[in-house]
Chain A
Amino acid sequence: MSEKKIITIALAGNPNSGKTTIFNNITGTRQKVGNWPGVTVEKKEGLIQKFGYDLKIVDLPGTYSLTPFSIEEIVARDFVLEESPDVVIDIIDSSNLERSLYLATQFREIDSKVLFALNMADVARSHGTKIDAEKLSNLLDVPVVFTVGNKNEGIDNLLQEAIKLAESDPNEKEKRNVKYSREIENAILKLKTLIEEKAANKIHYNSRWTAIKLLEDDRIVKERFIGKAGKAGEEIIDEVQVLRKNLLVHYDEDPEIVMTDDRYGFIAGIIKEIQTISAKERIDFSRNIDLVLTNRFIGFPIFIFFIWAMFQLTFTLGAYPMDWIESGVNLISSFAGNIVPESLLKDLLINGIIGGVGSVIVFLPNILILFFCIALFEDTGYMARAAFLMDKIMHLIGLHGKSFIPMLMGFGCNVPAIMATRTLESEKDRILTILITPFMSCSAKLPVYIVLAGTFFAAKAGNVIFSLYLLGILLSILSGRLFRSTLLKGVDAPFVMELPPYRVPMLKSLMIHMWDRSKMFLKRMGGVILVGSVIVWALSAFPRSIEYSVDYSFEINRMKESFNMKIAAAGEKDKELLKNERIAAIAEIEKAMNAEKTEKSYMGRIGKGISPVFEPLGIDWRGSVSLLTGFFAKEIVVSTLGVLYSTEGPDDKDALKNALRSSGMTPLSALSMMVFVLLYLPCLATIAMIRKETGSFKWTAFSIVYSTSVAWIAAFCVFQGGKLLGY
């Protein structure tokens, strides 16, 4: 081979056709995961070398059709139309041939070089289905290859055929296409001739395909056609309108509906010729599993058990590696503390960068485990059953059954929860779920409730905390309904969902899935979260020169001297006692100094500055400063309160409780503050994730403003309402 050439191969196919497995088998770990430009649909590609060629494999989104109704379909179609891959491999689930051919015939129509991979033919055979591949190949004039994706069989052959096809002459033979009903064929022919006469050199799409799409009133093709063909295009569109009207009268039905019927008619004809089913009633392993898993009585208990197990694994098992990471971060930070000389840079490094990134990186185990479980649900086929069970309930909020999982994970941590919205197909569902998930009270908020409710509600603390969780759920439902009828209006995504057969998952696929998610999360660390951490650090570390109300270093020295004198005078026995007293006394002064330092930092000043906003909620300036620092991570609210009330630190809960009680905070204002913590803006890491997953700055800003407004209003109602009721 003298010269290497890059051949682009697009992998297309229905969801659950085994496309991802084949993609993973071909590319292995050399995958690049990103988004398709402008949309949040995931794009995977891999570059490999095989048989002396450089092959670029692009995994198109799994779709059932190429009508421009969903983003996935638009993305898949546009890639084939605009990027003109050398070959499109359509992966067909052999045990689901009839429906798979619907997509396949559409690729055929686009006039790209298509190759069919009859995947999982072994499964089909075991069901008693035999497919005559040669006949299929002859009938549609397409090369056909058998593959077994999960056993890595036929992949080399598939690639060889793809290369052969890519190198072949494009106009070798007359293509065999779907034959539509006579009137429609006449209309197509008429339009095709018109397009070729008037706009042939202006549009690079196949003219028969363009004619078909125009007759189907395909919004996107129509727009592009007018855009490119100009005046001639408009004339042709006028003709299309006439033809469509005539067809509507003739068939008493929209032409696109008749054409869908025709395609399936054409496919039924092919199926008759190439497929033989010997088994009378197919023995279905999957159906038996579903007798249990979606059973009327035990379906739900089993589902709840699986979800419980996932939750436990993610957050309970995940807690151990989280501890390791935490101690690792502490180790790094103390190591850095020892080698870096005392300076502003040291403070930035330890408290800003290591502390900040460290507090977010601890979520990594959660993410790894959660996505392992989700991949397991998806790859086995259970996810579709979960949606099947939950759809009725979720539909009340205007959501799809699948939204349940991300929302539930929100109780653990919103970062993985928002990443989990990727399992939703419709973008509207995804955004809606992302907007309401933060109202699920995450586990980092629990320490705040424990301190406040424990201090002010004592025996009733459990009930109070439980009501907070309920309030969060209630508000997410109300918000969901509100958004569905306003901002994200429109028809709900139709719940036309395939229930794929259960399959044994492949470890390799699970690992790749898990790794992709974690990589995405880690990348965030280097970006937004790092910058955010540094900003938050700077706000609390500056200004450096604070005019303290008391000269603390003088106080400390005085204290040291007076103790030193006492120690020198005291007997051997009292010396140790006095030394301990000295340490305690100095710590006391240092705490007062830290409290004043926090109060006078920019963060403290901002907190004090905005405290009038919190006054109607019954929250004082210390509360507002700690809420502000809670932006970083919710549990920090407690430690900031600790610092501001100059208590021993977050571990010494009793001291903080006493300080809180004597600060003038009442049970009512504590409740108001808890409600605010429950609902107000998500933490930095979550916001970074919302930005990433919505792909939109506007939605991110909206989420922040909306949640904070809801929080303020709810806390206002609690505090002022409570006051009116005489609490």
Chain B
Amino acid sequence: MLLSEMKEGEKGVVIRVAGNGALRRRILEMGIVKGTEVFVEKYAPLKDPIELILKGYHISLRVEEAAQITVEKSKQ
């Protein structure tokens, strides 16, 4: 599933980051690479952006950016 489809409090593992150019590279460089475990901490009050926890830190992405990331949802 896409990262943007995950709900608050769900966990997943990154399978693939799509998209192109600077944005994709930037997402990878921030540590969202294949095999990284991500936790959906919360959505902003207006449902965009989204706050994630990965590699022990918090990061926010716009929903459209999160839609470039394919994840496998982990069982709780």
Q: Is the CB of B29 within 8 A of A65?
A: yes
Q: Is A299 an interface residue (CB 8 A)?
A: yes
Q: Identify which of A152-160, A389-397, A576-584, A622-630 touches chain B.
A: A389-397
A260–B33 Cα distance when bound, in Å, is: 8
Interface residues on B, range: 20 to 34
A42-71 interface code vs B (CB 8 A; 1 in, 0 out): 000000000000000000000011010100
A273-300 interface code vs B (CB 8 A; 1 in, 0 out): 0000000001000110010001111011
Q: Is the CB of A102 within 8 A of B44?
A: no
Q: Is the CB of A393 within 8 A of B46?
A: yes
Q: Is A706 an interface residue (CB 8 A)?
A: no
A388–B48 Cα distance when bound, in Å, is: 8
Q: Is the CB of A96 within 8 A of B57?
A: yes
Known interface pairs A391-B62, A494-B22; A95-B56 also in contact (CB < 8 Å) = yes
Interface residues on A, range: 35 or more
What is the CB-to-nearest-CB distance from A217 to chain B, in angstroms, rounded to a whole number?
11
Q: Is the CB of A388 within 8 A of B44?
A: yes
A39–B46 Cα distance when bound, in Å, is: 35
B43-68 interface code vs A (CB 8 A; 1 in, 0 out): 01111110100011111111001000
Contacts of B30 in A (CB 8 A): 64, 99, 496, 498
B14-44 with Cβ < 8 A to chain A: 21-31, 33-34, 36, 41-42, 44
Contacts of B58 in A (CB 8 A): 286, 498-501
What is the CB-to-nearest-CB distance from A325 to chain B, in angstroms, rounded to a whole number?
40
A389–B48 Cα distance when bound, in Å, is: 8
Q: Is the CB of B65 within 8 A of A495?
A: yes
Q: Is the CB of A260 within 8 A of B29?
A: yes
Q: Is the CB of B44 within 8 A of A294?
A: yes
Known interface pairs A294-B44, A392-B49, A496-B59; A261-B26 also in contact (CB < 8 Å) = no
Q: Is the CB of B56 within 8 A of A67?
A: no
Q: Is the CB of B21 within 8 A of A491?
A: yes
Known interface pairs A264-B33, A491-B21; A499-B59 also in contact (CB < 8 Å) = yes
A627-647 interface code vs B (CB 8 A; 1 in, 0 out): 000000000000000000000
Q: Is the CB of A67 within 8 A of B29?
A: yes
Contacts of A161 in B (CB 8 A): none
Q: Is A309 an interface residue (CB 8 A)?
A: no
What is the CB-to-nearest-CB distance from B27 to chain A, in angstroms, rounded to a whole number?
6
A295–B45 Cα distance when bound, in Å, is: 7
A121–B6 Cα distance when bound, in Å, is: 33
Q: Is the CB of B65 within 8 A of A296?
A: no
Nearest chain B residue, comparing its CB with the CB of A498: B59
Q: Which of A97, A264, A297, A494 contacts B26 (CB 8 A)?
A: A494
Q: Is A497 an interface residue (CB 8 A)?
A: yes
Contacts of A326 in B (CB 8 A): none
Q: Is A109 an interface residue (CB 8 A)?
A: no
What is the CB-to-nearest-CB distance from B9 to chain A, in angstroms, rounded to a whole number?
12
Nearest chain B residue, comparing its CB with the CB of A494: B23
Q: Is the CB of A69 within 8 A of B26?
A: yes
Contacts of A99 in B (CB 8 A): 30-31, 55, 57
| Residues of chain B having any CB pair with chain A under 8 Å | 21-31, 33-34, 36, 41-42, 44-49, 51, 55-62, 65
18 new A-B contacts, CB < 8 A, other than A300-B45, A494-B23, A496-B60, are A65-B29, A67-B25, A69-B22, A99-B31, A99-B57, A102-B31, A261-B33, A282-B56, A297-B45, A389-B46, A391-B62, A491-B21, A491-B22, A495-B61, A496-B27, A496-B59, A496-B65, A499-B59
| Residues of chain A having any CB pair with chain B under 8 Å | 64-65, 67, 69, 95-99, 102, 129, 256-257, 260-261, 264, 282, 286-287, 290, 294-297, 299-300, 384, 388-389, 391-393, 395, 491, 494-501
List 9 tightest A-B contacts by C-beta distance, closest first.
A392-B46, A499-B58, A494-B23, A260-B28, A65-B29, A98-B55, A495-B62, A392-B48, A69-B22
A sample of 19 cross-chain residue pairs with beta-carbon separation below 8 angstroms, ordered by A number, consists of A67-B29, A96-B56, A290-B41, A294-B42, A294-B44, A294-B45, A295-B45, A299-B45, A388-B44, A389-B46, A391-B60, A391-B62, A494-B62, A496-B27, A496-B59, A498-B30, A498-B59, A499-B51, A499-B60
